[in-house]
Each structure stands twice: as C-alpha cells, then as structure tokens.
Amino acid sequence: MKPNVYKALARGVVLESIRRKDLWVVAILGFLILMGASALGFFGVEGLQVFVKDLAVTVLGAFSTIVAVLTSTRMLPEEIKQRTLYPLLSRPISRLDLIIGKLAGSILVTWLAFVILCALTAVALFGFGVNFEPIMGQYILAKMLGLALVCAFGLMLSIYMTPAAAATTTLIFTFGSTMIIRGLTSGYDQVGPVMQFVFKFLNAILPQFSLFDLGGRAANVGWSPVPLWVMGFLVGYWLLYSAGLVAIAWAKFNRKAI
Amino acid sequence: MKSWHAGFLGLSLMAAMGWSTGNVSPETNPPMRRIQTSQGDASLAGQFQTSVSGWLWEYTEVYLNNGIKYRKMTEQEKQSAEKDGEPGQEVTSIPSASKDFRSVFGDVERAVNAWTPGQKVRQNDPRQSLPLFRLMTWLDPQFVEGWTTGAMVIGMDYKAESTQKAMQFLREGLKHNPECVDIPMMFGMIEVTREKRYGTAERFLKKAISNGRPRFHSLGDNERAALQNSYRWLALVYRNTGQTEKLMQIVKEGTDKFPDDMVLPRTGRPSVVPPEDYKAPVGVRTRSQNN
C-alpha cells in the first residue's frame, strides 16, 4: 500500500480531467437537466412526483455512467499513446500501483461529476417542491459504489482492447446488465442441466451493475430504505469484484511491452 | 441552342417532376392509425417514434404499480401456475425467491428494486402517468388510444377545470386524427355525461359514426367498440331529448351493425315513468329529483 503514490496519481487524473474540460461538459449537461426540468412546468408538477423523480434518477444514472466509462477507458491508452507513461514508470512505483492510482483517480472524477449532477438535479427538484424520502440517500451511496465498479470494469477492458472498443463494451454491459440477468432468470427453468450450470456460471462472473441502482425504489412512493445487510453486501461485492478486475488488468499490463 | 440550354431544360424538367410528386405522397404514404402491441419494440418499419411511444404506453403500468415491473408469463409458467392453483397472465420481472436460482444476488436485487409478492401491490394515482401520455402523443400523434386514455386520466376527478383540460387534449388529438372514431365518440360522451350539451354531443357522435360506418368491416377492435358506443350514446341523446323517431332509427342502424348488442335495444324502449302521485320511499331520490 502506497497511499501517497495513489494520491498523487489520482490527483493527476483529476487535474487532467479538469484540463480536458470533462467537468465542464458535466456542468453543461446539468444545465440541460435544469432546462428540461423547467419544461415540466407545462404539465403542472403537482401530483407528478413520481415522474419528476423517475426522470431525475434516469438522467443522473445515464450521464454519470457515461462519464465513468469515458474517463476510465481512455486513461491508460492515452498515457501510452502520448508517451507520458515512461516518466511515470521511471519513478519507484510498480505497474500495479499505477493501475490502482489511475483507478482511484477515475473514481474521484466520476464521483465529482455525479455530485455536481446530483446538486443541480436537487436544485431543480427542490424548485418543484418534490419531497425526498430517506431512500434517496441510499440511492446516492449505492450509485457511487456502482460507478466505482464501472470504472474498474472500464479500466480493465482498456488494457485488453482499444479505448473505443473498451468504452463500447463497458457501455453494453452497464446498460444491458439488467437485460442479461433477466434473460438468465427467465430462461433458467426451461433449459437442461448443462445449460443451467452455464447460466449459474455466467451469473457468477458477469458484473451485477443493476444491483447498485436503487432508482426504481427511490423514484416511487412509500418504499422503505433497504436493510443494512444489503448495503453491506454491496460494499463487499464492490471491493471483491473490483479487486478481481484490478488483478486481471494487472496480469495483462504487467506483461505488456511498452 | 447552346449546350447549357439543354442542361437548364433537363434540370427544370426534373424539378417540375419532383415538385408535382408532392401530391402523390398522401396516396403512397397515408397517415396510419398506430396500433400499439404489448411489446414496446414492435414496429414493422422499426419506426423509432412509434417504438418509444409504445414503450411509454407500457411504462404507464409501471407507474400505476408503484414501480413494480411485470412481464407476460411463458406458456410453461402459465401451466405451472395453473397447477399451483394460482392462474395468471403476468408475473413480476424479478422472480420470487422460490423461483430464482441466484441465491443472495436474487435476494439483493429484490431488496434494492421496487418489488413485492404479487398480492401486495400498491396502486398509484393514475395522474402520475400523465406526462407519459403527453410525451407519447407528441411522439406519435396517430396513436389514438394515447389521446383517449390520456383524456380520461386528465378528467378523472370530474372537476370542471379538468374536464376542460381533457377536452383541450382531445381537440389536439382530433386535429391529428380527423378520421378516427374514438376521439369524436369520447367528445360526445363527455358532452353527454358532464356538460349535458346534447346538441354538441349529437354532432360529435354523428361524426364518429360517419367516420366508422364506411370502413366498418376493416375497423380494429378498439374502433369497433368506439363505433358501438357511439350508437349507444347517440341513442341516449335522442331519448333524453325526446326525439323518438331519430331514436328508433339509430337503434335500428346500430343493431343492424351490432346484432349482439344487449344495451342498444333497451335504450329504444320507453322509460318507465312513475305515476304522478308516486312517492319514493324515504331516502330514495328519483331521477327527476336528482336533476
């Protein structure tokens, strides 16, 4: 563990993101959310809490996931392409440190973007007098963990693929995760024992991004907060699965001729 | 003749041809009534707007069910449910613990999503789904059920202001679908039941019938039902305004088209009018007292 190294590398990623004006894009997207929200006045928002909250969590989820994917999949390939990786690796840090530091940086950038979007959305929702339930806090926490998992997944793929391919694959898995899992659960009873084993295997190894999305519960009315053991499970799953992804990334990156 | 004259002439000819084909468009690509299916992605030509509109139509159910998502049962599931003595057509998208192979992943998914066992569904106010109706009719103005169901949801509290808003919504729908049966029928129904303007109602219901009658044999289920209702409401209008001859005529025409209709012939029968000295039992109000 080299906290100072990780901190310096993460700081570099955040500064690079600010320099590239990624966060400006987020701010503009947030502004668009506010503009879109103001159009809701047309419907008369009274009694339309569900729609407004549903729209908010959908937009938040989509935009922050895109930021996570774009940030995590282009960091290392760009370092290699621009040859800025050499001065980094000439310092007393291992390739594993580099991956962890970069991952920490991409998570920070994504969380920063998510917080900006949350703040802007909250302003819009407060403007319409939308009531928040305690589950909204859990939604934000779980979403942040989910985004961190997306970053780890994107970073791992970017070592094996080109940035464009990694970004596309990550987007497919993040947005299609629910659909894939739903296909497995629906089809399980209708296949033979061999395929059932394959289904179980796929379910075990595929990233379960949908578990981190409490949007459906947060947007609707009267749902209680989720039990503490569920939040604990999400933290544990995130840590273990991310560690696995980092290990896979390191296995390839360590052997990569640069 | 110079060479550029020939080029100019050719270009003019092509432009004239292109210009004149504008009138052919309504024939080659007539505005079609959209029929939404139970699958949001069903669209012959992959029309994006219709697909999104269909998805929004399906999504209104999610709002009504407080976020719980359902899917159609497979044939195997239907048979299994019947064996268990719980027949049904739909099941929650996220399976219950007894039917989920994923163990703790399934438990967590059920905990983080809007999910309860089927019997414990809390129904939301349908007005929560109003923006969806607005969006789906913007996207696909030919989606008539979106206009009529949306109008019913807008006016569901029976307040004068809501009724006006519902009529405004229907007017917009009628502008996009002047040939449909459902929207004029809905107008007529609102005029009869809420505004008691029988003259206006008669005009709308006649319009609905004249729209549906020429293509009676090609009407879809919804339009067919709307046509049948138009006959019923128009008969009611004639009965309430004492136009007996027209009443008998419309009842005859309606029963010719819909011989199985049990309501229409009854509308034609004279109402039972109580004798003048009749006194209603205590606590019972007669129709004339209500009016």
| pLDDT over threshold 80, residue A100 | yes
| pLDDT over threshold 50, residue B46 | no
Which chain A residue has its CA at the smallest distance from B69's CA?
A216
- More confident of the two residues B1 and B82: B82
| pLDDT over threshold 90, residue A40 | no
Residues of B whose CB is below 8 A from A200:
101
Helices A49-81 + A135-160 axis angle, to 10: 30
What's the pLDDT score for residue A197? 93
Would you call B91 helix, strand, or coil by DSSP? strand
| pLDDT over threshold 70, residue A174 | yes
Contact B76 A208 (CB under 8 A): no
**Confidence label for B32 from pLDDT (cuts 50, 70 and 90):** low
**Confidence label for A127 from pLDDT (cuts 50, 70 and 90):** confident
Would you call B90 helix, strand, or coil by DSSP? strand
Kindly provide the ipTM of the predicted complex, given to two decimals: 0.88
CB A7, CB A103: distance < 8 Å: no
Q: What residues pair up with B71 in beta bridges, in sequence order?
A: B91
- More confident of the two residues A146 and A80: A146
Non-local (6+) Cβ contacts of A36 within 8 A are A55, A59
Non-local (6+) Cβ contacts of B160 within 8 A are none
Contact B101 A233 (CB under 8 A): no
Contact B134 A200 (CB under 8 A): no
| pLDDT over threshold 60, residue B37 | no
Nearest to B111 among A212, A220, A227 (CB): A227
SS (H, E, C) B14-77: HHHHHHHHHHHHHHHCCCCCCCCCCCCCCCCCCCHHHHHHHHHHHHHHHHHCCCCCEEECCHHH
Count of Cβ atoms closer than 10 Å to residue A114 Cβ: 22
CB A210, CB A181: distance < 8 Å: yes
What's the pLDDT score for residue B14? 76
Cα distance between the two ends of chain B: 86
**A20-24, B113-117, B203-207, B270-274: least confident range:** B270-274
- Exposed/middle/buried for A158, CB within 10 Å: 0-12, 13-18, 19+? buried
Residue whose entry in the numeric block shows the structure tokens 């994006």: B48
Residues of B whose CB is below 8 A from A216:
67, 69, 113-114
**Confidence label for B270 from pLDDT (cuts 50, 70 and 90):** low
Q: Kindly write down the DSSP assignment for every residue of B111-164, as one continuous string.
A: HHSS---GGGPPPPPGGGGHHHHHHHHHH-TT-HHHHHHHHHHHTTT--HHHHH
CA angle, A139 then A72 then A124, to 5°:
40
- More confident of the two residues B40 and B212: B212
| Closest Cα in chain B, distance from residue A220 (Å) | 6
**A145-154, A247-256, B254-263, B264-273: least confident range:** B264-273
* Selection from A61, A93, A78, A100 nearest residue A17 by Cα: A78
Count Cβ–Cβ pairs < 8 Å, chain A vs chain B. 89
CA dihedral A152, A161, A251, A142 (to 10 degrees): 10
pLDDT digits (tens, 9 = 90+) for B63-83: 888 888 888 888 888 888 888
Count of Cβ atoms closer than 10 Å to residue A1 Cβ: 6
Contact B114 A217 (CB under 8 A): yes
**Confidence label for A126 from pLDDT (cuts 50, 70 and 90):** confident
What's the pLDDT score for residue A146? 96
Q: What residues pair up with B72 in beta bridges, in sequence order?
A: B90
| pLDDT over threshold 60, residue B34 | no
**A87-101, B15-29, B155-169, B206-220: least confident range:** B15-29
Cα–Cα dist B145/B62, whole Å: 18
Which chain A residue has its CA at the smallest distance from B65's CA?
A220
What's the pLDDT score for residue A235? 96
Average pLDDT over every residue of B136-150: 90
Nearest to B63 among A50, A182, A203 (CB): A50
* Mean of all residue pLDDT scores within chain B: 83
- Most confident segment among A44-48, B122-126, B185-189: B185-189
What's the pLDDT score for residue B272? 60
| pLDDT over threshold 70, residue B33 | no
- More confident of the two residues A43 and B61: B61
Residues of B whose CB is below 8 A from A186:
71, 74, 95
Residue whose entry in the numeric block shows the structure tokens 């509308």: B267
- More confident of the two residues A41 and A101: A101
What's the pLDDT score for residue A137? 92
Contact A188 B101 (CB under 8 A): yes
| pLDDT over threshold 80, residue B166 | yes
Q: Kindly write down the DSSP assignment for every residue of A65-113, as one continuous string.
A: HHHHHHHHHHHHHHHHHTT-HHHHHTSS--HHHHHHHHHHHHHHHHHHH
CB A27, CB A116: distance < 8 Å: yes
**A8-17, A171-180, B12-21, B192-201: least confident range:** B12-21
Contact A226 B102 (CB under 8 A): no
Rounded to two decimals, the pTM is: 0.76
Contact A48 B128 (CB under 8 A): yes
- Most confident segment among A14-23, B112-121, B129-138, B221-230: B221-230
**Confidence label for B4 from pLDDT (cuts 50, 70 and 90):** confident
**A125-139, A188-202, B140-154: least confident range:** A125-139
- More confident of the two residues A40 and A55: A55
Count of Cβ atoms closer than 10 Å to residue B43 Cβ: 18
* Selection from A104, A117, A161 nearest residue A22 by Cα: A117
Residues of A whose CB is below 8 A from B124:
50, 220-221
pLDDT digits (tens, 9 = 90+) for A194-244: 999 999 999 999 999 999 999 989 988 888 899 999 999 999 999 999 999
